[in-house]
Amino acid sequence: MKTYNVVLAVAIAAISHSNSYAAEANPRYLGVSVGQATVDDFCGGGEDSCDDDAPSIRIHGGTELNGFANLEFGYRYIDDVEVSGFISGVAVAASVNGHFVDTTLQLGMPETGPFKVFTKAGLMLWRLNYEVSASNGFQTFSDSDDDTGVAFRTGLGVSYDVSETVRLRADWDLLLNVGDEDETGEADINVFSVGPEFLF
């Protein structure tokens, strides 16, 4: 909770500092990025097969508060990570995918050319969808469930201005403590992605 309060305080300070600038110019942008997500500690080593990597897509939009701060909102989907193995002679398989809605404050160096490097911190609502199946060779059982929560996100990024209205952006995002600690356990998710942004 302390971390959330710090993020909120920084966001309020950046917005307050940018009021006079925003009245004159308040550029906005929309973007989409694709990449790969890796779920930490998803594979324990005792499985027959395990894939902790999955494709990810994110759609986002934001406003440039001033020369060094942006406020951004986004939606991300992470496709299935999968694991399978045998427990007491029973074949078990499980898969998990996720939906994430986030609010993020970006802080970067003032632009001195086409490149801009920035860091970011924010909060996200997550929803994880679970599917589990088990088979003993005679019967097959399957079940699905979902879980939701709030978590913290951070990361780094770099953008390159292709023109006055288009830029390319590459990101590393770290999604922290996603999952229910008491039921399925928490995990960090690393996401590397790239995509265009359109300014208007």
Question: Looking at residue 44, what is its pLDDT?
Answer: 81
pLDDT along the chain (200 residues), means of 10: 50 48 68 98 86 98 91 98 92 96 93 88 98 92 96 97 96 96 88 97
Question: Looking at residue 100, what is its pLDDT?
Answer: 98
Question: Looking at residue 152, what is its pLDDT?
Answer: 98
Domains contained in the chain, number: 1
Domain CATH code at residue 37: 2.40.160.20
Residue of 29, 21, 7, 2 lying closest to 119 (CA atoms): 7
Q: Which domain holds residue 133?
A: 2-199
Question: Looking at residue 46, what is its pLDDT?
Answer: 74
